[in-house]
Structure 1
Amino acid sequence: MRRREPGGRVESLGPRQTSPGRDESPEERADRRWNELLQEVRVIQTGVQILFGFLLTVVFTPRFTTLGPTDRTIYVVTVLLGAATTGALIGTVTFHRLVTGHRLKPETVYWASRLALVGIVLLLATVTSALLLILRIAMGNSAVPWVVAGLVAWFMVCWFGLPAWALHRYSSRG
Structure 2
Amino acid sequence: MADQTWSTFRRKIYINAPSGKIYWHWATSKGMETWFLRSCEYTDNREVKRAREEHAQAGDTYLWYWHNWADGESGIINEADGRTHLAFSFSGAQVTIDLEESKGVTLVTLTQHHIPTDDRSKMNVYYGCGTGWTFWLANLKAYLEHDVLLHHTAPDMMGRSDFSDFVNL
TM-score (norm. length: structure 2): 0.31
Q: What TM-score do the two structures reach when normalised by structure 1?
A: 0.31
Q: Which has the higher helix share?
A: 1
By relative contact order (CA 8 Å, sep 6+), the higher-ranking structure is 2
User: Is the radius of gyration larger for structure 1 or structure 2?
Assistant: 1
